Amino acid sequence: MSRFVQPVPPPVDPYAGDGLLRSWLERHLGPAGHAAAKGRLADLAADVAGPLRAAHADAEAHPPTLVRYDPWGARVDRIDTSAGWQAQRAAAARHAVVALPYLPDARGTWGAAARVAQHALLHLYGPESATFSCPVAMADGAAALLSLPEVDNGVREAWLPRLISTDPAVAITSGQWMTESQGGSDLGRSSTIGRPAVDGSWRLTGEKWFCSAADAAMAVALARPEGSGRGSRVLAPFLVPRYAVDSPLAHGLAPGAPAPGVTVHRLKDKLGTRALPTAEIGLHDAYAVPLGDPAVPGLVRAMTLVVVTRVHNAAAAAGGMRRGLAYARAYADVRHVAGGALSSSPLHRATLGTLAVDAAGAFALAGHAFALLGRVEVGADPEAAAELRIVAPLAKLATGRLAVSSASEYVESFGGAGYVEDTGVPRLLRDAQVLPIWEGTTNVLSLDVLRALTREDAGAPLLARLAAAVDLARPLSPVLADTLASAAAQLDDTITSVTADPGSPTVLAGARGLALRLAYALTTALLVEHAAWGDEQAALAARLWARRWLRHEEIAEDAHHHLDLLC
Ligand SMILES: Cc1cc2nc3c(=O)[nH]c(=O)nc-3n(C[C@H](O)[C@H](O)[C@H](O)COP(=O)(O)OP(=O)(O)OC[C@H]3O[C@@H](n4cnc5c(N)ncnc54)[C@H](O)[C@@H]3O)c2cc1C
């Protein structure tokens, strides 16, 4: 008797096969703008389905190693990475996943919507990147920080062109050294000290506990300028060069030699993101240059970077959800159960359809955050800035949670094979779990949302968007419009009451619930907006999302019937 071997579906084209992505681009970039992006997107999609899948597998199979000493005993603290990781690095540069929104021709073509085009690249690139999407996010954050007018021109000119280079031989990425063992969320406890040196540069001394992309050529480190006092506001961002790339590190070091004062204690042994080197790093009088005037409280400057990495996190969550869905759907077509294809089972179709609704919502949230970011950067749109203040944490927290619950379902949808390492499926779940943790856990972001609501009136732009969406929803579905109107009214009441007593234990205990309700209502509004533009899939997703997340209803029957439209 011959042994049964399960056929494996070929990889789907992540651009051609994603109707929501394409219609989103058609709406936000316009037909001509979308046409201008198609070549880039198709090229990246082809790479993702081919060489980058292989590079991804190689990087996962060969995690980074720390080489502390050279053969003669000299301390080198070198991090060796796999060929797959290097291929991901080169692809990120070549496909401009960091660079795009900074490139003059991209800004000329798409204006503020260059960030929308970049989000599309990230949506395609991230899931098969072996989490090179993390250094990409931090490089983008560092580039945004270096672009601020407060940053010294010489520093900007030395580093920004490399961060946004599309030449793999020139491009660099950046780390981001904030977390210390006594506090990741509680930055006020940071104890790394910055002292000015005679030449205008600074020296940093302290311990950084979680430093991802530890192989990057530079890092942005938070440090407390000596004498600046306690708390988190005064913490200032500094650029720490890791290696002697030509200038501006004036140590007389040979190119590629490690900068003095930086010790890599060890690499973390992590649940997921295994190809990504995350290190514990000690700084002892490490050379650094300030990003902005260290005498001016610097946390606000550093938030420029944090907002960028938070929206990247949302993009990674939404991209991973979409790719997991595509895998699970394709597998259901080839796997047979109970005498037929798994994809003909009403129950399995309902499971996939429900996941598709969540994936659509996450995509809209991430996409909206990128659209706002673009409007802030190009044209300094104050309305977009006010909305981004609350949308960035909301998008990050809601998509992070959805990514984990969805990844668990994707693994389960492969049955036992989903639990077996070399199918590549288990890492969907492992890698998803970092998304609600880093750059602010759900609770920490919920408190940030509460601060934004009570101190910065950040509810106003959100409630205005919800009100406009109620009008747009009316012709699509009166029930949908009523559901959204009722959610908006309840949120308005809650915001009024929390603002009256923001520090009460009841308000603090309810912060996560409030943030999630805000995110679910916002997502409904975003799907309604896309539906009102004419997207049928978004219209269905909006109705089902609102029933699932605003009314807490079972949507299995509709999800089963309409699976083909949903994904
Ligand atoms: C894979 C990975 C990569 C990372 N890479 C980097 C990096 O490159 N650079 C970097 O700087 N950091 C990095 N981090 C660290 C990450 O940002 C922190 O772990 C995260 O911010 C949480 O901080 P913490 O670990 O100190 O946890 P804690 O802040 O101690 O959190 C513990 C728990 O307390 C909760 N909590 C904390 N504060 C409050 C509060 N005020 N109210 C209610 N609940 C609260 C949290 O939600 C959490 O559940 C990385 C982490 C991981 C897992």
The Å distance, Cα 185 to ligand 1 centre, comes to: 5
Distances (CA, A) of 44 to 35, 51, 363: 15, 10, 19
> Under DSSP, is residue 509 helix (H, G, I), strand (E, B) or coil?
helix
Q: How far is CA 511 from the centre of its chain?
A: 22
Q: What is the CA radius of gyration of the chain?
A: 24
Quick one: pLDDT at residue 12? Answer: 85
CB contact at 8 A, 296 and 314: no
The Å distance, Cα 179 to ligand 1 centre, comes to: 7
Tell me the helix, strand and coil percentages in the chain, rounded to 5.
Answer: 60, 15, 30
Length of the chain: 567
Quick one: pLDDT at residue 250? Answer: 47
Cα–Cα distance, 405 to 421 (Å, whole number): 19
Cα–Cα distance, 335 to 549 (Å, whole number): 31
User: What does DSSP say about strands 236-241 and 202-212: parallel, antiparallel, or unpaired?
Assistant: unpaired
Cα–Cα distance, 234 to 336 (Å, whole number): 60
Could you tell which of 132, 173, 185 is best to mutate to test the pocket of ligand 1, judged by most ligand atoms within 8 Å of the CB? Answer: 185
Could you tell which of 173, 176, 305, 441 is best to mutate to test the pocket of ligand 1, judged by most ligand atoms within 8 Å of the CB? Answer: 441
- pTM tops 0.75, yes or no: yes
Q: Which residues pair with 282 in a beta bridge?
A: 207, 263
CB contact at 8 A, 311 and 137: no
Neighbours of 433 (CB within 10 A): 17
- Angle (CA) 302 303 304, round 5°: 90
Quick one: pLDDT at residue 252? Answer: 53
Quick one: pLDDT at residue 127? Answer: 95
Cα–Cα distance, 176 to 432 (Å, whole number): 20
> Closest Cα to atom 33, ligand 1: which residue?
441
Quick one: pLDDT at residue 427? Answer: 92
Could you tell which of 132, 140, 179 is best to mutate to test the pocket of ligand 1, judged by most ligand atoms within 8 Å of the CB? Answer: 179
Of all atoms in ligand 1, which is nearest to the CA of residue 222? 11
Cα–Cα distance, 216 to 136 (Å, whole number): 10
Quick one: pLDDT at residue 253? Answer: 58
What does the DSSP assignment read for 119-183? Answer: HHHHHHHGGGTTTTHHHHHHHHHHHHHHTSTTS-HHHHHHHHHHHT---TTT---EEEE--BTTB
What does the DSSP assignment read for 76-111? Answer: EEEEE--HHHHHHHHHHHHTTTTTGGG-HHHHHHHG
pLDDT block averages, 10 residues each, the chain of length 567: 89 94 98 98 96 95 95 92 98 98 97 98 97 98 97 95 96 96 87 94 96 96 95 96 64 66 96 97 96 95 97 98 96 94 96 98 98 95 97 98 98 96 92 96 98 95 98 98 98 97 96 98 98 98 98 97 95
Neighbours of 502 (CB within 10 A): 15
The Å distance, Cα 456 to ligand 1 centre, comes to: 24
Cα–Cα distance, 523 to 515 (Å, whole number): 12
